[in-house]
Amino acid sequence: MNTRKPTIAVTLGDPGGIGPEVIVKALADPDLRRRGRFRVYGPAAALDAAASAAGIDPYWNRSAHSLPVVSTAGGQNVTVLDYAAGETFPREANRASGELSFRLVEDSIVDARREQGDDRRVNAVVTGPISKLAWNMAGQGQYPGHSELLAMRTGAKRFGMMFVSPRLRVILATAHLPLMDIRNALTIEKVFDAIDLGNDACKKLGVAAPRIAVCGLNPHAGEGGMLGDDEMRVIEPAIRAARERGIDARGPFPGDTVFNAAVNGHFDLVVAMYHDQGLIPVKLLDRDRAVNVTVGLPMIRTSPDHGTAFDIAGSNRADAGSMKAAMELAIQMCARGE
C-alpha cells in the first residue's frame, strides 16, 4: 500500500456549469483535504463565485497555471491553478467554455504523464462535468467525452467506462453511441474487453474474485433467439472466452432483472451493453454517490456521474456527493498503488 499523500488534479469542467460549486463544496471538508493535495485547474473567478454563493470562505492558494512550480504557500492542501477567463460564465453551452474545459483536461493529462520527481506531476485526475455540445462547438466533436480523449492522449488500446457506487458496479461494453448504432458496433471483442477490464478493475478495488454478470442486449436476453440473435452471436462467445481465461463471468441475463441480483449481493459487477442500460439503475439507486472510473488507462481518472446541470448552476442547489466520492475513490486508488 502507498502511504504517501497523493496529489490529485481536479479539472473544473465547464465553468458555467455546476463544476465550480461541487468542487468548492466537496473540498470544504477538512478531512478530505488532509488526505491529499489537490490542484484545481480552472478560472479562480468561477470558484470564488461558487464559494460566495455557498457561504464558504476560500480555503485555497492561487497560482498562475503557467508557472513551472505550483505554489504551496501557507501550507494549504488546495491550490487553484488560475486560468484567467473573465468574471462571468454563460449558463449554457458555448464555444469559449468548450475551449477552456477541453484545455483543462489536456493540461491535467500532461501533468499526470510527467516523470516521477517532477514538481508538476499529479497522481490522479478527477474531472469536473463538461458539455459535449460545447466541446463540439469548440471544434473537438471527435471526442464524445472525457474517456475517448484520455484514451487517445495516453495511447490506451483498450479502455472502458466503469461506474462505482455504494450498491452497484457497472461497466459499459459501448458508451457514447446512438441507440441505432449499437447493434452494429457491438462485437465479441468489445464485450470481452468490458468483462476483462472490469474484472481487473474490481481486483484493483479490493474484490479478490469478482463475480461478473453480463447483460443481454435484447428483451429477455433474446428469448433463445426469438427476440434477436445478438446474445448467441456476440455476447455468449465473449462470455465463453472470458471463462476460458479464468474469469467468473455469467450470462447473458435480462437487463430488467440482473441489477436486482447484483444489488442483493449475487454479483460484484454488471457488464451493460449500452449507456442507459447501465446508467439508469446506477443513477436511480445511488444518485450523487456514484463515480465514473475510466479503466484501462495508464493513469487514474475518476469523475462524478452527473453533467453540467446548467439549469441550476449558480443557484447553490447542486449536491457535491458524487464529486466528493470521485475524489475519495481517486485517493483510495492511489493508496493501492494504481
Give the CATH number of the domain where residue 318 resides.
Answer: 3.40.718.10
- Whether residues 148 and 12 share a domain: the answer is yes
Alpha helices in the chain (DSSP H): 19-27, 30-35, 44-54, 95-112, 132-137, 146-154, 179-185, 188-204, 230, 236-244, 258-263, 275-286, 321-335
pTM (two decimals):
0.92
- Whether residues 250 and 179 share a domain: the answer is yes
Neighbours of 142 (CB within 10 A): 10
Query: In angstroms, what CA-CA distances link 106 with 103, 125, 146, 151?
Result: 5, 11, 10, 12
pLDDT of residue 74: 57
Q: Which of 219, 232, 133 is nearest to 191 (CA)?
A: 232
- Whether residues 122 and 191 share a domain: the answer is no
- Whether residues 207 and 149 share a domain: the answer is no
- Whether residues 65 and 181 share a domain: the answer is no
Task: Say how far apart CA 212 and CA 270 lie, in whole Å.
Answer: 6
Residues of the chain with pLDDT under 50: 1
pLDDT of residue 66: 84
- Whether residues 187 and 256 share a domain: the answer is yes
Q: What is the dihedral of CA 331, 111, 108, 6, to 10 degrees?
A: 10
Which residue range is the domain that position 101 belongs to? 1-156+297-338
pLDDT of residue 288: 87
Q: What is the pLDDT of residues 71-113, one digit of tens each?
A: 665 557 999 999 976 667 899 999 999 999 999 999 999 999 9
- Whether residues 95 and 165 share a domain: the answer is no
- Whether residues 99 and 234 share a domain: the answer is no
Question: Residue 63 phi/psi, 5° resolution?
Answer: -150, 140
- Whether residues 166 and 64 share a domain: the answer is no
- Whether residues 291 and 305 share a domain: the answer is no
pLDDT of residue 84: 79
Q: Work out whether the CA dihedral 96, 154, 290, 12 comes out positive or negative.
A: negative
- Whether residues 151 and 16 share a domain: the answer is yes
Task: Provide the number of structural domains found in the chain.
Answer: 2
> Look-up: residue for cell 428483451?
219
- Whether residues 5 and 143 share a domain: the answer is yes
Query: In angstroms, what CA-CA distances link 265 with 149, 268, 275, 292?
Result: 34, 7, 23, 21
pLDDT of residue 87: 67
